[in-house]
Amino acid sequence: MRPVRLELNGFAGFRVATVVDFTDADYFALVGSTGSGKSTVLDALTFALYGTAYRWGRSNAISYALAPTSNRCTVSLTFDVASQRYQVAREVRRIGGQVQQKAVSLVRFADPTAGAIDPNGPQPEVLAGEIKELNAAVEQLLGLSFDDFCQCVVLPQGDFARFLSANTADRQRILLKLLGAAHYEGIGKRAGVQRDAAAKEVEVLTEQLGRYADATPEAEAEARARVSALELLATSVDALVPGVDEAHARAAEAAARAQALGGQADLLASISAPHGVEELQRAADDAQRAVEKAREAEAEAGRALADAHAAGRAAPERAAIEHTRDLHLERADLAARRERVFAAADRADWELARHQEQLHVRAAAVDAARADVAEARARLDRAHQAHDEVRRRRDRLARVRTPEGLSVLADRVAELARQADDAERRLTEASDRHERAATALAADGDGSRLTEARGALDQLDEVTTDFAAATSELGDAIEAAARTDAAVSDAQFLLDARTGALEEARTLAGAGRLRPVLRAGHACPVCEQTVTAVPPPLPDPALDAAEAGAAGATREHREALSRHQEAMATVTGRQRTVDALTVRRTMIEQQVAALLPELPEGAAGEAEAFPGAVRGSGPDRGSGPERARLDGLVAARNRLVATEEQTRAAAGEARTVHGTTLTAAGALRRELDRARTVLDTQLGALTDLEPPTADPAAPEGSEDLGAPGDLTAAWARLDAWARAGTAEAEADLAVAATAVATADEAHQDAVAALETADREHEEGRVAHTRTVRDATAAEAGRTALTARLRELDALLSAAPSAEAVPGLLAERTRLDDAVTAAAVRADRTREALGEALAEQQRTLAGTDAARSELTAARDTVAALAPPRPDTADLAAAWADLVDWAAREAAGRRAEALGRRAEARAATDDADELLDRLDAQLSDHGLDPGHLGEGPGRAAHAPRVVAIALERARAEAERIVRDLAEAASVRERADTARTRQQVATELARLMRSERFPRWLAESALDTLVEGASESLRQLSGARFDLSHRKGEFYVVDHADADTERSVRTLSGGETFQASLALALALSEQLAGLGSATKLESIFLDEGFGTLDPESLDTVADTLETLAQGDRMVGLITHVPGLAERVPVRFRVRRDAHSSVVTREGA
């Protein structure tokens, strides 16, 4: 895996969009200050691939991916594997109080040089689009799990030497996975499963062969003979049934016609004329005459009303006359008021002129008073300014205070140094205890085997439940098959009986046909004996009935046989389900046995101490000893996990205390710096007052907390000087206060004079405003009165005089009264017309009802062609209809008697044919009772015969099919035995203590050889690396080639050995035939522990590695090493986000 481009947005400290382009960066370094986000870049790379980062501690701790102030982050990594280019992306969102992955993807580009997805170009192939499938797809693509990736590719802070210190089992697991050899173990397990499955298949197939014992060639021949006999019966029945149906049809038709004729006669007899038809006609004529008379009166009243309206429209309207009267009255009133309005307007103009002159005089007095106030205010401001300057000087000197606690700083420095030493000791002890607990937990493995065993036990419980249900269903199916088999036997017995009866009937029928042709003295055509006397004719043999009975039995037998075959098919399907569940249960039991080794001593008791380790909150599902054994193993692992968590918590607490102590030391140093800074600030602020000089402060950047004595003396000198200056300023402040009081008194007098002038001016302004308003109103009244008089004169110039108006109003009243009287008369005539029309409608309703009744009576017999009625004369129309109905009823009753006789004759013919059909069915062993009862029973005969025929055919086919299936089962059993033998031998060869162990040991030999060469170069030919019984050792050539464990190496030596082993993994696994291609390696620590000479050696080694076809990246704080790296990604952090800048090639 070689990264090409890393894109971050909102990830951890990278709150803004950031791109890290690795193009042509085969050898690069991430540099920057502590906390800038260098390791976060590698966290993002690991998170993009596996959804977590090693530093986060848990595989599901995705909340660390999200910046504290962000609700969404995205990470996208474009990388190459071999010659293909891929892109993996993840999105994390904060939803409510939870952080969740919302979208993921893994795609493969069609173009191996593509840098991003082109919407208009070829679309990449989607390899994974769901969270649950992405990690598996990445592991399969890279050939590395998350833990292996952190041991062989990205070596994070604090865990550079994990592979070096791993136990034998973990180291073998890692090597086998890197070599792609894990499938050998799977081959052995699958071979064992296939062996057991083949053995079970042989057992099941052998049992199945016993189910085909009744399938013999003799049974097949008998079944085919039965089919031939039933086919002949079916032909005979098909010829007989149409005659029966035709006779029944004739009888039904005659009976139906007789019934219809009787119904028609009854319907005709029910017709009769209603009562009172003549009286209804006379009442209708009287109502018509009354309506015509009322219409004439209504027309005459309408004409009179129209004449009155025309006379009213010719005279003037009342509203116009009244408006003219009102205008005459208004003009008379305005003429009387004119003199008074003009006099009031003249007086208002004189008052306005007088108030304007007074307002000008008072405005000049206000301006003079305002100038006096301004001059007094200026003198007051100058006095205040002098007073404020003295007060500020006093306040500045009074604010000088020596910082609290300055005298006890020396004691605090000594106490804090002692606390720091104690915290560092406790941190070292807690870290050692946690390291031992973590090593023990790592030796126990990652617990995935127990998780897999728990899943297998759950599957075993599920399969056991399904097996019980399938076994019960199989028993039910077998019982159903037994019942259908008994039904087939009964149907076969009935069929045989009716077939025998049919044969006897056919024999008698043949003899009956021969007897009429016998002649005395001639030879019999059957036995060739001379006939001495002609025997009497034989009675009817009822051959048809026998054939029908045989056909019915055949159909019933066929139905029973079909049901039996369906039941047997159900039994076969259920048996296959039971067999499959048996095989699956065996496989799961073997898987559980392989995953759960025997309990270590004391583990059973520990399992009781952790009852929820496996079962959770649900009840025990009865998996037996295997689940109890799993409980014990999980309990033992939980104890290791608890110990590791407790020691980690203790180490974290000690680390917190140590950090708190360091923080306190920094706070004390900052307190001293603040005291020096405050002194410098005070001196700088008081420079214009010439304060005393202070001793120089401690050198900038000094790590020593410093001696506070000089600082205390400087503060004492400054404090004494400030107190003396404050007393002098207090005396000057009293003098300035007296000057302010004098100026303020003069200013107040000027302000009072200005307020008096303003008040008099405001009173004059109010009086002037009032006179202006009065003058304006008077002038407006005069203008409005003059204009209205001119308007009224214009309006009345063409109107009647005031004296003519009363006469016009009286004439208008007379015309309105005439219109009202005419309207009343018209309303009365309309009411009379309405009453006449209502009476006419009532009479018409009676005649219409009688006419509707006549139509309804005729419609009931419309199909019988009644005579057409006379609508003008209702009585005559009713008489014609009643006479016609009586004649027709008598004729139809006579015809119905003849039709009933025809129906009885046709029924007798049908009964005779049914007797023959029953005889034929009985002859073939079929029960005529299966045809049912009633005239339509003959229609069931073909079905009864067809069922019996199909049952016979099905039985023949079943026998043929069973013969073929038996041969197939024998062949499958032989094949299963061969497969069982091959799987047994393969499982024996692939046991885990043989081939995989040899493969891992061979790979480790080659790996150590390459790592030893790198270590010899890194250590200046001092060390070689070797291994023995699962442990790594170094050969110290500087100490007489002494061999000692890698656990005894110093920090710098451990870094050299770990780096050598990591480089060997990267360099040589491809030569071991590895399925994993380690195309890059990233180092995140350790260079600061090396001396300059070793650092140069490591730098040379990394440069040599980078010159190959692998990418090398490192994180370093060592400037000398960073300068030798051609490409540097400088990481900086500001107040908002971390940013990455590429430097170099």
Considering only CA atoms, which of 639, 245, 663 is closest in space to residue 447?
Answer: 639
List residues bridging with 107 in a β-sheet.
87, 126
Residue 252, both tokens: 């039904």
Q: How is the beta sheet containing 1127-1133 ordered, strand by strand?
A: 154-155, 1080-1083, 1111-1115, 27-31, 1127-1133, 1138-1144
Long-range contacts of 380-388 (CB under 8 A, 24+ apart): 380/740, 380/743, 380/744, 380/746, 380/747, 382/743, 383/736, 383/739, 383/740, 383/742, 383/743, 383/744, 384/740, 386/736, 386/739, 387/733, 387/736, 387/737, 387/739, 387/740
Decide if pLDDT at 562 tops 80.
yes
Position 62, amino acid: I
Position 1139, amino acid: V
Confidence of residue 604 (pLDDT cuts 50, 70, 90): very low
Q: Provide the residue count of the chain.
A: 1145
Return the higher-pLDDT residue of 1073 and 1023: 1023
Map residue 617 onto helix, strand or coil: coil
E strand residue ranges, 71-225: 72-81, 84-95, 98-108, 125-128, 154-155
Least confident range from 446-460, 654-668, 746-760: namely 446-460
Q: From CA 550, how far away is CA 547, in angstroms rounded? A: 5
Looking at residue 86, its pLDDT comes to 94
Q: From CA 1007, how far away is CA 873, in angstroms rounded? A: 130
Q: From CA 120, how far away is CA 108, in angstroms rounded? A: 17
Instruction: State pLDDT tens for residues 337-380.
Output: 888 888 888 888 888 888 888 888 878 888 888 888 888 888 88
Residue 296, both tokens: 């004439």
Looking at residue 639, its pLDDT comes to 81
Map residue 14 onto helix, strand or coil: strand
Return the higher-pLDDT residue of 585 and 1069: 585
Looking at residue 696, its pLDDT comes to 45
Looking at residue 104, its pLDDT comes to 92
How far from 1108 is each of 358, 681, 1104, CA to CA, in Å?
Answer: 110, 60, 7
Looking at residue 601, its pLDDT comes to 43
Decide if pLDDT at 1106 tops 50.
yes
Map residue 1141 onto helix, strand or coil: strand
Q: From CA 553, how far away is CA 768, in angstroms rounded? A: 135
Mark 409-418 as b/e (b = at least 16 C-beta within 10 Å): beeebeebee
Q: From CA 802, how far away is CA 926, in angstroms rounded? A: 130
What's the mean pLDDT when you consider all of the chain? 78
Residue 849 in contact with residue 280, Cβ under 8 Å?
A: no
Return the higher-pLDDT residue of 616 and 155: 155
Looking at residue 992, its pLDDT comes to 53
Percent of the chain with pLDDT strictly greater than 90: 7
Average pLDDT on 703-719 reads 62
Return the higher-pLDDT residue of 719 and 480: 480
Which range in 99-103, 189-193, 282-286 is most confidently predicted, on average pLDDT?
A: 99-103
Q: From CA 191, how far away is CA 198, in angstroms rounded? A: 10
Angle at 144 between CA 142 and CA 145, to 5 degrees: 130
Looking at residue 871, its pLDDT comes to 65
Residue 738 in contact with residue 356, Cβ under 8 Å?
A: no
Looking at residue 105, its pLDDT comes to 94
Looking at residue 407, its pLDDT comes to 63
Average pLDDT on 903-914 reads 80
Which range in 31-40, 490-499, 643-652, 1104-1113 is most confidently predicted, on average pLDDT?
A: 31-40
Least confident range from 64-78, 434-448, 897-911, 1128-1142: namely 434-448
Residue 110 neighbours by CB distance under 10 Å: 13
List residues bridging with 66 in a β-sheet.
11
Decide if pLDDT at 175 tops 70.
no
Task: Please give the torsion angle defined by the CA atoms of residues 137, 140, 141 and 145, in that order, rounded to the nearest 10 degrees.
Answer: 100
Backbone conformation region of residue 748, classed left if phi is above 0, alpha if psi is from -120 to 50, else beta: alpha
Residue 995, both tokens: 């081939």
Residue 715 in contact with residue 695, Cβ under 8 Å?
A: no
Residue 154 in contact with residue 183, Cβ under 8 Å?
A: no
Looking at residue 537, its pLDDT comes to 61
Map residue 76 onto helix, strand or coil: strand
Looking at residue 600, its pLDDT comes to 46
Looking at residue 621, its pLDDT comes to 40
Residues 6+ apart with CB under 8 A from 262: 892, 893, 896
Decide if pLDDT at 700 tops 80.
no
Decide if pLDDT at 1033 tops 50.
yes
Please report how many Cα atoms fall inside a 13 Å half-sphere around the Cα of residue 1043, on the Cβ side.
Answer: 7
Map residue 668 onto helix, strand or coil: helix
Least confident range from 236-245, 530-539, 941-950: namely 530-539
Decide if pLDDT at 703 tops 60.
no
Residue 45, both tokens: 């790379």
**What DSSP element (H or E) covers 1111?**
strand 1111-1115
Radius of gyration of the CA atoms of the chain, in A:
62
CATH class assigned to 2-153+1080-1144? alpha beta
Confidence of residue 158 (pLDDT cuts 50, 70, 90): very low
Return the higher-pLDDT residue of 8 and 185: 8
Decide if pLDDT at 912 tops 60.
yes
Residues 6+ apart with CB under 8 A from 95: none
Residue 790 neighbours by CB distance under 10 Å: 8
Instruction: State pLDDT tens for residues 825-874.
Output: 888 888 888 888 888 788 878 777 777 777 887 777 777 778 887 666 66
Decide if pLDDT at 938 tops 50.
yes
List residues bridging with 77 in a β-sheet.
6, 88
Average pLDDT on 583-606 reads 62
Decide if pLDDT at 1088 tops 70.
no
Average pLDDT on 751-761 reads 85
Instruction: State pLDDT tens for residues 681-690.
Output: 877 777 777 7
Please classify residue 723 by burial: count the beta carbons closer than 10 Å to its beta carbon, then call 0-12 exposed, 13-18 middle and 19+ buried: exposed
Position 892, amino acid: R
Q: From CA 125, how far away is CA 1001, in angstroms rounded? A: 39
Residue 951, both tokens: 């049952």
Average pLDDT on 644-668 reads 80
Looking at residue 547, its pLDDT comes to 79
Looking at residue 328, its pLDDT comes to 82
Q: From CA 1139, how far away is CA 164, in angstroms rounded? A: 34
Least confident range from 12-26, 386-400, 520-534, 1112-1126: namely 520-534
Instruction: State pLDDT tens for residues 972-1002.
Output: 888 888 888 888 877 776 765 566 677 777 7
Return the higher-pLDDT residue of 418 and 790: 790
Return the higher-pLDDT residue of 20 and 203: 20
Q: From CA 176, how far away is CA 87, in angstroms rounded? A: 27
